[in-house]
Amino acid sequence: TVLVVDFGAQYAQLIARRVREARVYSEIVPHTMPVAEMLAKRPKAIILSGGPASVYADGAPDVGRELFDAGVPVLGICYGFQAMARALGGTVAHTGSREYGGTDLTVTRPGSTLFEGTPAAQSVWMSHGDSVTEAPDGFTVTASSAGAPVAAFEDDARALYGVQYHPEVMHSAHGQQLLEHFLYRGAGLTPSWTTENVVEDAIAAIRAQVGDKRVICGLSGGVDSAVAAALVQRAVGDQLTCVFVDHGLLRKGEAEQVEKDYVAATGVRLKVVDAADRFLQALAGQTDPETKRKIIGREFIRVFEQAAAEIVAEAGSHGETVEFLVQGTLYPDVVESGGGTGTANIKSHHNVGGLPEDLTFQLVEPLRRLFKDEVRKVGEELGLPAEIVWRQPFPGPGLGIRIIGEVTRERLELLREADAIARAELSAAGLDRDIWQCPVVLLADVRSVGVQGDGRTYGHPIVLRPVSSEDAMTADWTRLPYDVLARISTRITNEVADVNRVVLDVTSKPPGTIEWE
Protein backbone atom coordinates (compact mmCIF):
# COMPACT_ATOMS: atom_id res chain seq x y z
CA THR A 1 0.00 0.00 0.00
CA VAL A 2 1.02 3.54 -0.73
CA LEU A 3 -0.42 5.99 1.78
CA VAL A 4 -1.49 9.40 0.56
CA VAL A 5 -1.58 11.78 3.49
CA ASP A 6 -4.40 14.27 3.00
CA PHE A 7 -3.63 17.82 4.08
CA GLY A 8 -7.13 18.97 3.40
CA ALA A 9 -7.22 20.15 -0.19
CA GLN A 10 -8.94 18.18 -2.91
CA TYR A 11 -5.67 16.91 -4.31
CA ALA A 12 -5.35 13.75 -2.20
CA GLN A 13 -8.00 11.84 -4.14
CA LEU A 14 -6.43 12.78 -7.40
CA ILE A 15 -3.01 11.64 -6.22
CA ALA A 16 -4.43 8.33 -5.00
CA ARG A 17 -6.04 7.82 -8.37
CA ARG A 18 -2.87 8.58 -10.27
CA VAL A 19 -0.96 6.12 -8.11
CA ARG A 20 -3.51 3.44 -8.92
CA GLU A 21 -3.24 4.36 -12.59
CA ALA A 22 0.40 3.43 -12.14
CA ARG A 23 -1.05 0.09 -10.94
CA VAL A 24 0.04 0.48 -7.35
CA TYR A 25 -2.61 0.26 -4.64
CA SER A 26 -3.05 3.46 -2.64
CA GLU A 27 -5.15 4.64 0.26
CA ILE A 28 -5.87 8.07 1.66
CA VAL A 29 -5.30 8.84 5.34
CA PRO A 30 -5.99 12.15 7.12
CA HIS A 31 -2.99 14.19 8.24
CA THR A 32 -4.34 14.01 11.77
CA MET A 33 -3.51 10.28 11.91
CA PRO A 34 -0.52 9.76 14.26
CA VAL A 35 2.66 8.76 12.44
CA ALA A 36 2.87 5.52 14.45
CA GLU A 37 -0.56 4.53 13.13
CA MET A 38 0.47 5.30 9.55
CA LEU A 39 3.60 3.19 9.94
CA ALA A 40 1.57 0.38 11.50
CA LYS A 41 -0.12 0.01 8.11
CA ARG A 42 3.32 -0.94 6.81
CA PRO A 43 3.18 1.34 3.77
CA LYS A 44 5.60 0.71 0.95
CA ALA A 45 5.73 4.45 0.32
CA ILE A 46 4.09 7.63 1.57
CA ILE A 47 3.01 10.66 -0.43
CA LEU A 48 2.29 13.94 1.33
CA SER A 49 -0.39 15.86 -0.55
CA GLY A 50 -0.81 19.54 -1.17
CA GLY A 51 -2.97 21.58 1.16
CA PRO A 52 -4.55 24.97 1.35
CA ALA A 53 -2.30 26.40 4.04
CA SER A 54 1.06 28.10 4.30
CA VAL A 55 3.41 26.21 6.63
CA TYR A 56 3.55 29.44 8.62
CA ALA A 57 -0.20 29.87 8.97
CA ASP A 58 -1.74 29.44 12.42
CA GLY A 59 -2.70 25.84 12.95
CA ALA A 60 -0.83 24.71 9.82
CA PRO A 61 -0.50 20.94 10.06
CA ASP A 62 2.99 19.71 10.87
CA VAL A 63 4.72 16.55 9.80
CA GLY A 64 6.70 14.85 12.52
CA ARG A 65 10.32 14.07 11.75
CA GLU A 66 9.84 10.44 12.72
CA LEU A 67 7.93 9.94 9.46
CA PHE A 68 11.13 10.54 7.52
CA ASP A 69 13.33 8.43 9.80
CA ALA A 70 11.27 5.27 9.41
CA GLY A 71 13.01 4.10 6.27
CA VAL A 72 9.83 4.43 4.18
CA PRO A 73 10.23 6.28 0.85
CA VAL A 74 8.41 9.62 0.92
CA LEU A 75 7.33 12.05 -1.79
CA GLY A 76 6.21 15.49 -0.64
CA ILE A 77 4.00 17.52 -2.98
CA CYS A 78 3.40 21.28 -2.69
CA TYR A 79 2.39 21.81 0.94
CA GLY A 80 3.76 18.35 1.71
CA PHE A 81 7.04 19.37 0.08
CA GLN A 82 7.32 22.49 2.22
CA ALA A 83 6.34 20.68 5.41
CA MET A 84 9.00 18.09 4.58
CA ALA A 85 11.64 20.75 3.97
CA ARG A 86 10.82 22.37 7.29
CA ALA A 87 10.81 19.13 9.27
CA LEU A 88 14.22 18.14 7.89
CA GLY A 89 15.95 21.49 8.45
CA GLY A 90 15.55 23.29 5.12
CA THR A 91 14.32 26.87 4.75
CA VAL A 92 10.81 27.88 3.68
CA ALA A 93 10.30 31.59 3.13
CA HIS A 94 7.69 34.12 2.11
CA THR A 95 9.61 35.20 -0.95
CA GLY A 96 6.75 37.31 -2.22
CA SER A 97 6.89 35.52 -5.57
CA ARG A 98 3.69 33.55 -5.73
CA GLU A 99 3.05 31.19 -8.62
CA TYR A 100 -0.40 30.00 -9.61
CA GLY A 101 -1.25 27.97 -12.67
CA GLY A 102 0.93 26.93 -15.59
CA THR A 103 4.61 27.58 -14.86
CA ASP A 104 7.86 26.80 -16.67
CA LEU A 105 10.04 24.35 -14.80
CA THR A 106 13.75 23.90 -15.48
CA VAL A 107 15.19 20.51 -14.64
CA THR A 108 18.68 21.20 -13.29
CA ARG A 109 19.70 17.54 -12.93
CA PRO A 110 18.37 15.68 -15.95
CA GLY A 111 18.62 11.95 -15.35
CA SER A 112 17.78 12.22 -11.65
CA THR A 113 15.52 9.59 -10.14
CA LEU A 114 12.42 11.75 -10.57
CA PHE A 115 13.21 13.43 -13.90
CA GLU A 116 14.98 10.73 -15.93
CA GLY A 117 13.82 10.77 -19.52
CA THR A 118 11.74 13.94 -19.27
CA PRO A 119 12.57 17.27 -20.97
CA ALA A 120 14.85 19.83 -19.32
CA ALA A 121 12.15 22.47 -19.78
CA GLN A 122 8.61 21.42 -18.95
CA SER A 123 5.33 23.04 -18.09
CA VAL A 124 3.97 22.30 -14.61
CA TRP A 125 1.03 23.38 -12.45
CA MET A 126 2.02 25.47 -9.44
CA SER A 127 -0.05 26.85 -6.61
CA HIS A 128 2.04 28.33 -3.81
CA GLY A 129 2.79 31.51 -1.90
CA ASP A 130 5.77 30.36 0.18
CA SER A 131 8.87 28.82 -1.38
CA VAL A 132 11.59 26.46 -0.27
CA THR A 133 14.76 28.57 -0.56
CA GLU A 134 17.20 26.03 0.83
CA ALA A 135 16.98 22.26 0.63
CA PRO A 136 17.68 20.27 3.81
CA ASP A 137 21.08 18.57 4.23
CA GLY A 138 21.54 15.49 2.15
CA PHE A 139 19.21 16.62 -0.67
CA THR A 140 20.12 17.59 -4.21
CA VAL A 141 18.08 20.32 -5.87
CA THR A 142 16.93 18.86 -9.19
CA ALA A 143 14.59 21.52 -10.62
CA SER A 144 13.71 25.18 -10.26
CA SER A 145 11.30 27.78 -11.58
CA ALA A 146 11.25 31.57 -11.57
CA GLY A 147 9.30 31.73 -8.33
CA ALA A 148 10.66 28.57 -6.70
CA PRO A 149 14.46 28.34 -6.56
CA VAL A 150 14.04 24.87 -5.10
CA ALA A 151 11.19 23.34 -7.09
CA ALA A 152 12.28 19.73 -6.53
CA PHE A 153 14.75 17.95 -4.29
CA GLU A 154 15.88 14.36 -4.04
CA ASP A 155 17.83 12.21 -1.60
CA ASP A 156 18.32 8.77 -3.07
CA ALA A 157 20.17 7.48 -0.02
CA ARG A 158 17.09 7.90 2.20
CA ALA A 159 14.55 7.62 -0.67
CA LEU A 160 13.09 11.03 0.21
CA TYR A 161 11.78 13.26 -2.57
CA GLY A 162 9.75 16.40 -2.99
CA VAL A 163 8.31 18.70 -5.64
CA GLN A 164 6.76 22.12 -5.29
CA TYR A 165 4.34 21.64 -8.17
CA HIS A 166 1.37 19.34 -8.61
CA PRO A 167 2.39 16.32 -10.72
CA GLU A 168 -1.08 14.80 -10.25
CA VAL A 169 -2.95 17.38 -12.32
CA MET A 170 -3.32 17.05 -16.06
CA HIS A 171 -1.67 20.42 -16.66
CA SER A 172 1.70 19.11 -15.47
CA ALA A 173 2.85 17.60 -18.73
CA HIS A 174 5.14 14.89 -17.34
CA GLY A 175 3.47 14.56 -13.96
CA GLN A 176 2.39 10.95 -14.26
CA GLN A 177 5.90 10.01 -15.30
CA LEU A 178 7.29 11.73 -12.24
CA LEU A 179 4.91 9.85 -9.96
CA GLU A 180 5.83 6.58 -11.63
CA HIS A 181 9.52 7.36 -11.28
CA PHE A 182 8.98 7.92 -7.57
CA LEU A 183 7.01 4.69 -7.18
CA TYR A 184 9.13 2.40 -9.36
CA ARG A 185 12.62 3.92 -9.11
CA GLY A 186 12.49 5.80 -5.81
CA ALA A 187 10.43 3.33 -3.82
CA GLY A 188 11.25 0.19 -5.84
CA LEU A 189 7.60 -0.82 -6.27
CA THR A 190 6.29 -2.98 -9.10
CA PRO A 191 3.01 -2.29 -10.89
CA SER A 192 0.78 -5.15 -9.77
CA TRP A 193 -2.62 -3.70 -8.82
CA THR A 194 -4.74 -5.13 -11.60
CA THR A 195 -8.44 -5.42 -12.27
CA GLU A 196 -8.24 -9.22 -12.07
CA ASN A 197 -6.83 -8.99 -8.55
CA VAL A 198 -9.55 -6.56 -7.59
CA VAL A 199 -12.26 -8.92 -8.84
CA GLU A 200 -10.78 -11.98 -7.13
CA ASP A 201 -10.37 -10.17 -3.83
CA ALA A 202 -13.88 -8.74 -3.95
CA ILE A 203 -15.47 -12.12 -4.64
CA ALA A 204 -13.58 -13.78 -1.80
CA ALA A 205 -14.55 -10.97 0.60
CA ILE A 206 -18.23 -11.17 -0.36
CA ARG A 207 -18.32 -14.94 0.17
CA ALA A 208 -16.70 -14.56 3.56
CA GLN A 209 -19.17 -11.90 4.61
CA VAL A 210 -22.41 -13.31 3.27
CA GLY A 211 -22.01 -17.03 3.81
CA ASP A 212 -25.19 -18.80 2.73
CA LYS A 213 -27.57 -15.94 3.55
CA ARG A 214 -29.97 -14.05 1.29
CA VAL A 215 -28.86 -10.78 -0.31
CA ILE A 216 -30.75 -8.04 -2.11
CA CYS A 217 -29.38 -5.30 -4.27
CA GLY A 218 -31.11 -2.18 -5.52
CA LEU A 219 -30.39 -1.78 -9.20
CA SER A 220 -30.65 1.75 -10.50
CA GLY A 221 -29.49 1.05 -14.02
CA GLY A 222 -26.31 2.94 -13.22
CA VAL A 223 -22.86 1.48 -13.44
CA ASP A 224 -22.12 1.31 -9.70
CA SER A 225 -25.08 -0.76 -8.62
CA ALA A 226 -24.79 -2.91 -11.74
CA VAL A 227 -21.14 -3.76 -11.09
CA ALA A 228 -21.73 -4.29 -7.38
CA ALA A 229 -24.59 -6.68 -8.17
CA ALA A 230 -22.55 -8.53 -10.78
CA LEU A 231 -19.74 -9.10 -8.26
CA VAL A 232 -22.17 -10.38 -5.66
CA GLN A 233 -23.78 -12.64 -8.21
CA ARG A 234 -20.38 -14.07 -9.12
CA ALA A 235 -19.72 -14.65 -5.45
CA VAL A 236 -23.00 -16.10 -4.17
CA GLY A 237 -25.12 -16.71 -7.25
CA ASP A 238 -28.74 -17.48 -6.47
CA GLN A 239 -28.70 -16.03 -3.00
CA LEU A 240 -29.00 -12.64 -4.70
CA THR A 241 -32.19 -10.94 -5.84
CA CYS A 242 -31.98 -7.54 -7.49
CA VAL A 243 -34.72 -4.99 -6.95
CA PHE A 244 -35.46 -2.24 -9.40
CA VAL A 245 -37.71 0.47 -8.04
CA ASP A 246 -39.48 2.42 -10.74
CA HIS A 247 -40.24 5.62 -8.87
CA GLY A 248 -41.69 7.36 -11.90
CA LEU A 249 -38.77 9.80 -11.93
CA LEU A 250 -36.82 7.82 -14.49
CA ARG A 251 -35.88 8.83 -17.98
CA LYS A 252 -37.48 7.46 -21.08
CA GLY A 253 -36.80 3.80 -21.66
CA GLU A 254 -34.80 3.36 -18.50
CA ALA A 255 -36.80 0.66 -16.79
CA GLU A 256 -36.94 -1.38 -19.97
CA GLN A 257 -33.22 -0.94 -20.44
CA VAL A 258 -32.37 -2.40 -17.05
CA GLU A 259 -34.56 -5.39 -17.72
CA LYS A 260 -33.19 -5.91 -21.18
CA ASP A 261 -29.47 -5.18 -20.84
CA TYR A 262 -28.78 -6.24 -17.34
CA VAL A 263 -30.86 -9.33 -17.03
CA ALA A 264 -29.81 -10.48 -20.47
CA ALA A 265 -26.14 -10.05 -19.61
CA THR A 266 -26.21 -11.61 -16.16
CA GLY A 267 -29.34 -13.73 -15.87
CA VAL A 268 -29.82 -12.28 -12.41
CA ARG A 269 -33.17 -12.63 -10.65
CA LEU A 270 -34.88 -9.25 -10.89
CA LYS A 271 -37.89 -7.88 -9.06
CA VAL A 272 -39.38 -4.74 -10.56
CA VAL A 273 -41.53 -2.60 -8.32
CA ASP A 274 -43.78 0.02 -9.88
CA ALA A 275 -44.02 2.73 -7.24
CA ALA A 276 -44.65 5.81 -9.37
CA ASP A 277 -47.97 6.73 -7.75
CA ARG A 278 -46.62 6.47 -4.28
CA PHE A 279 -43.66 8.76 -5.05
CA LEU A 280 -45.79 11.32 -6.86
CA GLN A 281 -48.23 11.49 -4.01
CA ALA A 282 -45.47 11.96 -1.50
CA LEU A 283 -43.94 14.72 -3.60
CA ALA A 284 -47.15 16.63 -4.21
CA GLY A 285 -46.87 20.29 -3.28
CA GLN A 286 -43.16 20.08 -2.42
CA THR A 287 -40.73 22.58 -3.92
CA ASP A 288 -37.78 22.69 -1.53
CA PRO A 289 -34.81 20.70 -2.92
CA GLU A 290 -33.73 19.11 0.36
CA THR A 291 -37.30 18.21 1.26
CA LYS A 292 -37.77 16.58 -2.14
CA ARG A 293 -34.54 14.62 -1.75
CA LYS A 294 -35.48 13.42 1.71
CA ILE A 295 -38.95 12.36 0.63
CA ILE A 296 -37.55 10.40 -2.28
CA GLY A 297 -34.94 8.75 -0.05
CA ARG A 298 -37.55 7.80 2.54
CA GLU A 299 -39.99 6.36 0.02
CA PHE A 300 -37.22 4.33 -1.52
CA ILE A 301 -36.53 2.63 1.74
CA ARG A 302 -40.17 1.86 2.42
CA VAL A 303 -40.56 0.29 -1.00
CA PHE A 304 -37.39 -1.60 -0.47
CA GLU A 305 -38.33 -3.11 2.85
CA GLN A 306 -41.62 -4.21 1.39
CA ALA A 307 -39.81 -5.81 -1.54
CA ALA A 308 -37.48 -7.68 0.79
CA ALA A 309 -40.44 -9.10 2.70
CA GLU A 310 -42.09 -10.18 -0.55
CA ILE A 311 -38.93 -11.86 -1.76
CA VAL A 312 -38.79 -14.02 1.35
CA ALA A 313 -42.50 -14.79 1.14
CA GLU A 314 -42.28 -15.69 -2.55
CA ALA A 315 -39.41 -18.05 -1.82
CA GLY A 316 -41.64 -19.71 0.77
CA SER A 317 -38.96 -19.26 3.39
CA HIS A 318 -41.08 -18.27 6.35
CA GLY A 319 -39.29 -16.85 9.31
CA GLU A 320 -36.29 -16.09 7.20
CA THR A 321 -35.21 -12.52 6.49
CA VAL A 322 -32.99 -10.84 3.99
CA GLU A 323 -29.90 -10.02 5.97
CA PHE A 324 -27.71 -8.29 3.47
CA LEU A 325 -28.14 -5.27 1.27
CA VAL A 326 -25.66 -4.50 -1.49
CA GLN A 327 -24.67 -0.87 -1.94
CA GLY A 328 -22.58 0.59 -4.74
CA THR A 329 -20.66 2.89 -2.39
CA LEU A 330 -17.46 4.15 -3.98
CA TYR A 331 -14.16 5.18 -2.44
CA PRO A 332 -14.77 8.95 -2.79
CA ASP A 333 -18.00 8.55 -0.76
CA VAL A 334 -16.04 6.76 1.94
CA VAL A 335 -13.30 9.37 2.01
CA GLU A 336 -15.77 12.22 2.07
CA SER A 337 -17.87 10.84 4.86
CA GLY A 338 -14.95 9.41 6.84
CA GLY A 339 -12.75 12.49 6.62
CA GLY A 340 -14.59 13.99 9.53
CA THR A 341 -13.02 17.35 8.83
CA GLY A 342 -16.32 19.18 8.91
CA THR A 343 -17.25 18.83 5.27
CA ALA A 344 -20.37 20.90 4.70
CA ASN A 345 -23.57 19.11 3.73
CA ILE A 346 -24.05 20.50 0.26
CA LYS A 347 -26.88 18.19 -0.62
CA SER A 348 -28.25 14.96 0.77
CA HIS A 349 -26.99 12.45 -1.75
CA HIS A 350 -28.43 9.03 -1.38
CA ASN A 351 -27.67 5.90 -3.26
CA VAL A 352 -30.55 4.09 -4.78
CA GLY A 353 -31.73 1.62 -2.22
CA GLY A 354 -30.42 4.16 0.28
CA LEU A 355 -29.11 4.07 3.76
CA PRO A 356 -31.77 4.43 6.42
CA GLU A 357 -30.52 4.57 9.98
CA ASP A 358 -33.14 2.22 11.27
CA LEU A 359 -32.68 -0.36 8.54
CA THR A 360 -31.94 -3.87 9.69
CA PHE A 361 -29.87 -4.97 6.70
CA GLN A 362 -26.15 -5.41 6.93
CA LEU A 363 -24.34 -3.72 4.10
CA VAL A 364 -22.25 -5.37 1.44
CA GLU A 365 -20.14 -2.74 -0.29
CA PRO A 366 -17.79 -4.42 -2.75
CA LEU A 367 -16.77 -1.13 -4.42
CA ARG A 368 -15.76 0.68 -1.26
CA ARG A 369 -12.13 0.88 -2.24
CA LEU A 370 -12.61 1.77 -5.89
CA PHE A 371 -12.82 4.91 -7.97
CA LYS A 372 -15.37 5.24 -10.75
CA ASP A 373 -12.90 4.48 -13.54
CA GLU A 374 -11.84 1.33 -11.70
CA VAL A 375 -15.47 0.31 -11.29
CA ARG A 376 -15.85 0.60 -15.05
CA LYS A 377 -12.81 -1.63 -15.57
CA VAL A 378 -14.25 -4.21 -13.18
CA GLY A 379 -17.52 -4.05 -15.10
CA GLU A 380 -15.68 -4.79 -18.32
CA GLU A 381 -13.74 -7.59 -16.67
CA LEU A 382 -17.05 -9.13 -15.57
CA GLY A 383 -18.35 -8.93 -19.12
CA LEU A 384 -21.12 -6.40 -18.56
CA PRO A 385 -22.35 -4.73 -21.76
CA ALA A 386 -20.86 -1.39 -22.79
CA GLU A 387 -24.27 0.31 -22.46
CA ILE A 388 -24.08 -0.31 -18.73
CA VAL A 389 -20.36 0.08 -18.13
CA TRP A 390 -20.11 3.40 -19.96
CA ARG A 391 -23.43 4.79 -18.90
CA GLN A 392 -23.27 8.36 -17.68
CA PRO A 393 -24.16 8.97 -14.03
CA PHE A 394 -27.80 9.59 -13.21
CA PRO A 395 -28.82 10.60 -9.68
CA GLY A 396 -30.91 8.33 -7.49
CA PRO A 397 -33.66 10.97 -7.04
CA GLY A 398 -33.86 11.08 -10.83
CA LEU A 399 -35.87 13.70 -12.65
CA GLY A 400 -37.36 14.71 -9.31
CA ILE A 401 -34.40 17.01 -8.72
CA ARG A 402 -34.32 18.22 -12.32
CA ILE A 403 -37.73 19.82 -12.16
CA ILE A 404 -37.19 23.12 -10.40
CA GLY A 405 -40.49 23.50 -8.60
CA GLU A 406 -43.19 20.98 -7.80
CA VAL A 407 -42.93 17.55 -9.41
CA THR A 408 -46.07 16.58 -11.30
CA ARG A 409 -46.89 13.89 -13.80
CA GLU A 410 -47.29 16.40 -16.65
CA ARG A 411 -44.01 18.09 -15.90
CA LEU A 412 -42.24 14.73 -15.73
CA GLU A 413 -43.59 13.80 -19.13
CA LEU A 414 -42.44 17.06 -20.62
CA LEU A 415 -38.95 16.77 -19.14
CA ARG A 416 -38.70 13.13 -20.19
CA GLU A 417 -39.33 14.13 -23.80
CA ALA A 418 -36.79 16.96 -23.73
CA ASP A 419 -34.20 14.73 -22.07
CA ALA A 420 -34.73 11.94 -24.61
CA ILE A 421 -34.11 14.40 -27.46
CA ALA A 422 -30.94 15.78 -25.91
CA ARG A 423 -29.61 12.30 -25.23
CA ALA A 424 -30.41 11.06 -28.71
CA GLU A 425 -28.66 14.02 -30.37
CA LEU A 426 -25.59 13.81 -28.15
CA SER A 427 -25.27 10.10 -28.89
CA ALA A 428 -25.82 10.64 -32.60
CA ALA A 429 -23.01 13.19 -32.57
CA GLY A 430 -20.73 10.61 -30.95
CA LEU A 431 -20.25 12.74 -27.84
CA ASP A 432 -21.24 10.26 -25.13
CA ARG A 433 -17.73 9.55 -23.93
CA ASP A 434 -16.66 13.20 -24.11
CA ILE A 435 -19.23 14.29 -21.58
CA TRP A 436 -19.39 13.10 -18.01
CA GLN A 437 -23.16 13.66 -17.96
CA CYS A 438 -25.67 16.17 -19.25
CA PRO A 439 -28.55 16.93 -16.91
CA VAL A 440 -31.57 18.40 -18.69
CA VAL A 441 -33.48 20.63 -16.32
CA LEU A 442 -37.02 22.03 -16.45
CA LEU A 443 -37.57 25.45 -14.91
CA ALA A 444 -41.15 24.66 -14.13
CA ASP A 445 -42.00 27.88 -12.35
CA VAL A 446 -40.44 30.13 -14.96
CA ARG A 447 -42.24 31.25 -18.11
CA SER A 448 -41.06 33.43 -20.93
CA VAL A 449 -42.68 34.90 -24.01
CA GLY A 450 -42.03 33.38 -27.39
CA VAL A 451 -43.44 33.32 -30.87
CA GLN A 452 -44.23 30.18 -32.78
CA GLY A 453 -46.10 29.99 -36.05
CA ASP A 454 -48.13 33.18 -36.00
CA GLY A 455 -48.85 33.20 -32.34
CA ARG A 456 -47.50 34.25 -29.00
CA THR A 457 -46.38 31.50 -26.63
CA TYR A 458 -45.76 31.64 -22.91
CA GLY A 459 -43.77 28.54 -22.07
CA HIS A 460 -41.06 27.07 -19.91
CA PRO A 461 -37.29 27.07 -20.44
CA ILE A 462 -35.26 23.88 -20.58
CA VAL A 463 -31.66 24.06 -19.36
CA LEU A 464 -28.89 21.92 -20.84
CA ARG A 465 -26.08 21.23 -18.38
CA PRO A 466 -23.33 19.28 -20.17
CA VAL A 467 -20.30 18.78 -17.91
CA SER A 468 -16.85 17.27 -18.15
CA SER A 469 -15.37 15.76 -15.03
CA GLU A 470 -13.10 13.04 -13.71
CA ASP A 471 -14.96 12.28 -10.52
CA ALA A 472 -17.92 14.71 -10.21
CA MET A 473 -16.14 16.48 -7.34
CA THR A 474 -15.19 19.27 -9.69
CA ALA A 475 -16.48 19.81 -13.21
CA ASP A 476 -16.34 22.17 -16.11
CA TRP A 477 -19.09 22.88 -18.63
CA THR A 478 -18.47 21.01 -21.85
CA ARG A 479 -17.90 23.09 -24.96
CA LEU A 480 -20.37 21.28 -27.20
CA PRO A 481 -20.29 21.97 -30.94
CA TYR A 482 -22.74 24.74 -31.84
CA ASP A 483 -24.46 22.68 -34.51
CA VAL A 484 -25.27 19.96 -31.98
CA LEU A 485 -26.65 22.54 -29.56
CA ALA A 486 -28.68 24.05 -32.38
CA ARG A 487 -30.19 20.70 -33.32
CA ILE A 488 -31.13 19.94 -29.72
CA SER A 489 -32.68 23.38 -29.28
CA THR A 490 -34.68 23.22 -32.49
CA ARG A 491 -35.98 19.77 -31.79
CA ILE A 492 -36.94 20.45 -28.19
CA THR A 493 -38.81 23.68 -28.95
CA ASN A 494 -40.54 22.05 -31.93
CA GLU A 495 -41.38 18.72 -30.40
CA VAL A 496 -42.03 19.39 -26.72
CA ALA A 497 -45.24 21.23 -26.05
CA ASP A 498 -45.04 24.11 -23.62
CA VAL A 499 -41.28 24.56 -24.00
CA ASN A 500 -40.33 27.65 -26.03
CA ARG A 501 -36.74 28.25 -24.96
CA VAL A 502 -33.56 26.20 -24.50
CA VAL A 503 -30.68 27.65 -22.49
CA LEU A 504 -27.13 26.44 -21.86
CA ASP A 505 -25.60 26.34 -18.38
CA VAL A 506 -22.01 27.63 -18.59
CA THR A 507 -21.08 27.31 -14.91
CA SER A 508 -18.23 25.17 -13.64
CA LYS A 509 -18.35 23.23 -10.34
CA PRO A 510 -17.57 24.99 -8.11
CA PRO A 511 -19.40 27.31 -7.86
CA GLY A 512 -22.38 25.48 -9.38
CA THR A 513 -23.10 21.86 -8.51
CA ILE A 514 -23.76 19.50 -11.42
CA GLU A 515 -27.44 19.04 -10.65
CA TRP A 516 -29.60 22.10 -10.08
CA GLU A 517 -31.03 20.86 -6.79
Q: How many CB atoms lie within 10 A of CB 447?
A: 15
Q: How far apart are the first and last CA of the chain?
A: 38
Quick check: is 438 catalytic? no
Q: Is 80 annotated as a binding residue?
A: no
Q: Is 332 in the site for ligand XMP (CB under 6 A)?
A: no
Tell me the C-alpha distance between 216 and 220, whole Å: 13
Specify whether the CB–CB gap between 80 and 162 falls below 8 A: yes
What is the total count of residues that contact ligand XMP (CB under 6 A)? 14
Using the contact rule CB under 6 A, the part of the chain among 84-92, 155-163, 487-495, 508-516 near ligand XMP is 508-516
Choosing from 270, 472, 484, 504, the residue that interacts with ligand XMP (CB under 6 A) is 472
Q: How far is the CB of 177 from ligand XMP (least distance, A)?
A: 30
Tell me the C-alpha distance between 486 and 489, whole Å: 5
Q: Is 425 in the site for ligand XMP (CB under 6 A)?
A: no
Q: Is 225 annotated as a binding residue?
A: yes
Q: Is 489 annotated as a binding residue?
A: no
Q: Tell me which of 21, 99, 154, 168 is the catalytic residue.
A: 168
What backbone torsions phi and psi does residue 497 show, to the nearest 5 degrees? -60, 145
Q: How far is the CB of 113 from ligand XMP (least distance, A)?
A: 38
Using the contact rule CB under 6 A, the part of the chain among 95-103, 131-139, 394-402, 500-508 near ligand XMP is 394-402
CA distances from 250 to 275, 418, 427, 473, 491 (A): 11, 13, 19, 24, 21
Q: Which is nearer to ligand XMP, 114 or 399 (CB)?
A: 399
Bridge partners for 492 per DSSP: none
Q: Tell me which of 78, 217, 242, 438 is the catalytic residue.
A: 78
Bridge partners for 442 per DSSP: 403, 462
Specify whether the CB–CB gap between 44 and 7 falls below 8 A: no
Q: What share of the chain is helix, strand, coil (3-state, %, to 5)?
A: 35, 20, 45
Q: Is 298 in the site for ligand XMP (CB under 6 A)?
A: no
Tell me the C-alpha distance between 349 and 344, whole Å: 13
Choosing from 396, 400, 461, 466, the residue that interacts with ligand XMP (CB under 6 A) is 396
Q: Is 334 in the site for ligand XMP (CB under 6 A)?
A: no
Please choose, from the candidates 348, 354, 349, the residue with its C-alpha nearest in 3D space to the C-alpha of residue 304: 354
Q: Which is nearer to ligand XMP, 122 or 329 (CB)?
A: 329
Choosing from 17, 31, 166, 350, the residue that interacts with ligand XMP (CB under 6 A) is 350
Q: How far is the CB of 462 from ligand XMP (least distance, A)?
A: 17
CA distances from 433 to 371, 422, 430, 438, 477 (A): 17, 15, 8, 11, 14
Q: Which is nearer to ligand XMP, 168 or 515 (CB)?
A: 515
Q: Is 509 in the site for ligand XMP (CB under 6 A)?
A: yes
Q: Which is nearer to ligand XMP, 155 or 419 (CB)?
A: 419
Q: Is 224 annotated as a binding residue?
A: yes
x/- contact string, 437-456, with ligand XMP (CB under 6 A)? x-------------------
Q: Is 514 in the site for ligand XMP (CB under 6 A)?
A: yes
**Cα 445 from chain centroid (whole Å):** 31
Specify whether the CB–CB gap between 308 and 216 falls below 8 A: yes
Q: How far is the CB of 68 from ligand XMP (least distance, A)?
A: 38
**Cα 469 from chain centroid (whole Å):** 9
Q: Is 397 in the site for ligand XMP (CB under 6 A)?
A: yes
Annotated binding site: 220-226
Q: Which of the residues are catalytic?
A: 78, 166, 168
Annotated binding site for ATP: 220-226
Residues that bind ligand XMP (CB under 6 A): 347, 349-351, 393, 395-397, 437, 472, 509, 513-515
